[in-house]
Amino acid sequence: MWEFIADHILTLITFLPLLGGLIVLALPRERKGAVRWTALVFTSLPLVLAAVLYGGFDHRAAGFSAGSGIQFVERFPWIRDYNIQYFVGVDGLSMPMVLLCALICPLCVLASWSIEKGVKGYHFLFLLLETGMMGVFVALDFFLFFIFWEVMLLPMYFLIGIWGGPRKEYAAIKFFLYTLVGSVLMLLVIIYGYLATTPHTFDLTELARNNAVLGYRAVLWWALFIGFAIKIPLFPFHTWLPDAHVEAPTAISVVLAGILLKMGTYGILRINYSMLPDVTRSLALFLAAIGTVNIIYGALCAMAQKDLKKLVAYSSISHMGYVVLGMASFTDEGLNGAVLQMFNHGVVTAMLFLLVGVIYDRAHHREIDGFGGLAMVTPNYAFVTFLAFFAALGLPGLNSFISEALVLLGAFKSFKILTAVAATGVIITAGYCLWTLQRVFLGKVNEKYALLPDLSARETASLVPLAVLVVVLGFYPQPVLDLMRSTLGSLNALVLAAL
């Protein structure tokens, strides 16, 4: 039993949610409580297993792409004639993402407790979504990766489209079409890469090792990049994001910002960097520039928003810009900062969206100017929100500070002027965060909301783990940094060696 779990831990983490989803489907329609608890159990099990995974992960031995650096490998042929494998494993790049995903999903189930319509369908789709997300982070076969990548689309489409806000249909199809454009380009690259190698293979480690056989390198790079850039989302492919976020139900916004956006940068690091290192290296300046644009543009847009959720959505665009800037620096600090920022932003933005959901559940609107003086009415809520916004603006002592500082430190070595421009983003961010806090929580109490109830036990339970992480990682980021250091070091060396 234990041996089986140890041997198949990644498969279990990936497919337990799907199993839970099938169980949910089999439950009777009226048993809403049973459905919710089943979903909670089957999202918590991967969290437990992820903790085991964390314990067993040897971060010193973690490398990149070389067979030895990947741990907890499971590998067997799937379609033998076409050399398609079921090949999963984790290294220092995917490990933080698996942990993040495992952590956020149960919290989302908690946040979805108040959903009343179509409970069964909702939880089935959510569990399917978790399988898709986990699969993307652990898959090391390009074909398998693509399947998981696309499998996420369907539940996401329905989750936004059925349980979303007033313009849900528009938002859902926009999300679907945007992402599909990106992924069909990726599919062409996958097939091209498969045919270019001899023997034909979809194995990502193999493709990285033999990347010299690939022709049309710049075209391939751009085809992959556009697919991932849409997901991040990078300017100018970002327009689906505010729509999707505003219309999606709370838990889905959390997943979208907390995990899905990271897949874009994860994909660039895992695939563009390793398969086409020379092109990546030559486009470093472009990457850094587009990252900077994202930081400034996202922050300015956020400042202009009247809707609290839209503000958080644009702040995500801004924060993902740091990730791209850090990635483009090709320094160890920058890369580590970028991946740490992916993790930290996942935690912070999840908190922010949960908090927006809390206020929306009570007031049924999200107008920033429609509140006022809430700190007096709901002190606990105000405390957690202040913490989250302070983390978002990068207050020293909270987690985002470390990652943003690392990113800027690394980027400054490579791009002095761009980094100086990007650093002004920190000020704009502080501006909109503080201004929002002031408008919502300070000032005169809005009489309409004088009797607003404070955080419930369930809401507290979904927020506390994240709040603890925000503080702990702010003082002691080592546990996460250790995971990725050696992998990112070898990835960086790989790219630097290419040119």
Query: Which residues are at the interface with another protein (CB under 8 A)?
Result: 78-82, 118, 146-147, 150-151, 153-154, 157-158, 161-162, 168-169, 172-173, 176-177, 180-181, 184-185, 187-188, 191-192, 194-195
CB of 53 or CB of 160, closer to another protein? 160
* Least Å from the CB of residue 173 to another protein: 6
Q: Sign of the CA dihedral 228, 234, 236, 241?
A: positive
The CB-of-145 to another protein minimum distance in angstroms stands at 11
d(C-alpha 255, C-alpha 237), whole Å = 19
Least distance from C-beta 154 to another protein, angstroms?
A: 7
Quick one: 119 or 356, whose CB is closer to another protein? Answer: 119
Query: Which has the closest alpha carbon to 148: 275, 13, 340?
Result: 13
CB of 87 to another protein, least distance (A): 16
β-bridge partners, 203: 141
Q: How far is the CB of 150 from another protein (least distance, A)?
A: 5
Minimum Å distance from CB 253 to another protein?
Answer: 18
Buried b (16+ CB within 10 A) or exposed e, 110-143: bbbbebeeebbbbbbbbbbbbbbbbbbbbbbbbb
Q: Measured between alpha carbons, how far is 134 from 45 in angstroms, rounded to an integer?
A: 13
Q: Which two tokens stand for residue 381?
A: 């809520």
Q: Give the torsion sign (CA, 381, 386, 389, 394).
A: negative
CA distance 230 to 179: 6
Give the 3-state secondary structure of residue 61: coil
Q: Which two three-digit tokens encode residue 64? A: 């990149």
Distance CA 162, CA 165 (A): 9
User: Which helix (H) or strand (E) is 172 found in, with range?
Assistant: helix 168-196
How far apart are CB 188 and another protein at their closest, in Å? 6
End-to-end Cα distance, the chain: 49
Please report how close the Cβ of residue 199 comes to another protein at its closest, in angstroms.
Answer: 14
Q: Which of 118, 106, 359 lies closest to 251, judged by CA?
A: 106
d(CA 385, CA 391): 10
CB of residue 372 vs another protein: minimum separation in angstroms? 35
In a 10 Å sphere around its CB, with 0-12 CB exposed, 13-18 middle and 19+ buried, how is residue 498 labelled? middle
Contact 64, 91 (CB under 8 A): yes
